Structure 1
Amino acid sequence: MGIFDKFKSQARNKGKQGSDTAEQRMNERTGGKYEDQVDSGQQRAEDSLGMDRDRDRNRPEQQ
């Protein structure tokens, strides 16, 4: 894995953490009332930013 791949992976992980934190806070503020809508919005945002969770899990590590 090259140095740029490591930076890219770290940036993706930071973005995912921020997205998850935002989702959690929204669910706390609304009491979970809009949990499905918040989750759907989070998935759309991550997809548009290229942070597809399944793609990351299914991709083998390159060395």
Structure 2
Amino acid sequence: MVHIPQKSVHSLSPESRQTELGLLDAEIGTLRADNKSLRAINRILEREKKDLEAEVETLRGEMTKPQ
């Protein structure tokens, strides 16, 4: 599920609006950092998957060799 921060500011006073905008910017920054981390984890998992698939193919080849 993707979280999309709200685009509207609900505060009426200028100070509160500024604070709310700051919080929204911080939330966006956090989401970008999370996204970057998840992409890095995904790259690692994809690499490990390739290694495991290669190992499975090697083991399959060893199993089909006549003894």
Q: TM-score, normalised by structure 2?
A: 0.46
* Larger relative contact order, structure 1 or 2 (CA cutoff 8 Å, min sep 6): 1
Instruction: Tell me the TM-score normalized by structure 1.
Output: 0.49
**Which structure would you say has the larger Rg?**
2
